[in-house]
Amino acid sequence: MDNTLALIDKFRKVSTATIATCLFKMGLKNQFIQGVEPLKRGKATMVGLAYTLRYIPAREDLNPIDVFKNPEHLQRVAIEKCPVDHVLVIDSRKDARAASAGSILVTRLMKRGAAGIVTDGGFRDSAEIAELDFPAFHCSPSAPTNLTLHQAIAINEPIGCGDVAVFPGDFIIGDDDGVMVVPKHLAEEVALECLQMTQYEKFVMDKVKGGEGIIGLYPLTSENMQKEFSKWKSDAYEY
């Protein structure tokens, strides 16, 4: 997608709540990754393309501690191959009893220019990861190594994360409310619609803060309010 960077910039200006509403209008009801939240709130919105890692249940004879010595171990490979401006999305089977990754791997991912990391499991060293200048989302802290429970089996193929289908190249947007997945073929349409929705919501908020009631304003059914909004848009923030 030639305009990927432009779309990333557009998605940074909208909220996951707005994206969720936009996708619902299109008939997509299940794009919000369930049970996942930021390790630390108040960070800049995370936006990037999905690069995926999938775990299956660990089998003890195939998953001893020395598998990490293998340079082809897929957890390590995913960290080293996740492209710039991509979000590493991990299918940890919604199981946070063992860590999906720790601070060393997440720091390496950050240094390589990734846009963030998401798991439907948990991170170890969660306090350290929370302090990084890097968006990270998980279900809950978890101390045990992933080897006790998870076995890395595939990278950059379709996965499920928090009950949502994630395909490589989908747009991943995360803020204080959580993480949304935007199918890549819909990204341009969704970004444009969300920017328009955000502009309208700014108008609504200005009116509500000024004491206006919401009937006829939200949604915009009043003819007078429609005229006011049209006039307001001429001086509104330009996207």
pLDDT tens-digit readout, 88-118: 999 999 999 999 999 999 999 999 999 999 9
Are 85 and 156 in contact by the 8 Å Cβ rule? The answer is no
Q: Tell me the C-alpha distance between 210 and 30, whole Å.
A: 35
pLDDT digits (tens, 9 = 90+) for 3-49: 999 999 999 999 999 999 999 999 999 999 999 999 999 999 999 99
Query: Looking at the predicted structure, is the pLDDT value of residue 239 above 50?
Result: no
pLDDT digits (tens, 9 = 90+) for 222-233: 999 999 999 998
Structure confidence at residue 124 (pLDDT): 97
Return the CA Rg of the chain.
Answer: 20
Structure confidence at residue 135 (pLDDT): 98
Query: Tokens 């991912």 label which residue?
Result: 109
Percent of the chain with pLDDT over 70: 97
Would the pTM count as exceeding 0.85? yes
Percent of the chain with pLDDT over 90: 91
Query: Looking at the predicted structure, is the pLDDT value of residue 160 above 80?
Result: yes
**Region 53-64: what's the mean pLDDT?**
93
Structure confidence at residue 237 (pLDDT): 53
Q: Tell me the C-alpha distance between 157 and 24, whole Å.
A: 25
Q: Which long-range contacts (CB under 8 A, 24 or more apart) does 100-105 make?
A: 100/55, 100/138, 100/142, 100/146, 100/150, 101/75, 101/146, 102/129, 103/128, 103/129, 103/132, 105/75, 105/76, 105/79
Measured torsion, CA atoms of residues 43, 45, 47, 52, in degrees rounded to the nearest 10: 50
152-168 core/surface letters (b: 16 or more CB in 10 A; e: else): beebbeebebbebebbb
Least confident of 63-67, 73-77, 78-82, 153-157: 63-67
Residue 113 is given by DSSP the state T
Structure confidence at residue 196 (pLDDT): 94
* 3-state DSSP assignment of residue 235: coil
**CA neighbor of 100 nearest in space, from 74, 78, 83, 75:** 75
Structure confidence at residue 152 (pLDDT): 95
Are 165 and 158 in contact by the 8 Å Cβ rule? The answer is yes
Q: DSSP readout, 40-93?
A: STTPPPEEEEEEEEEEEE--GGG--GGGGG-TT-HHHHHHHHPPTTEEEEEE-T
**What pLDDT band is residue 2 in, cutting at 50, 70 and 90?**
low
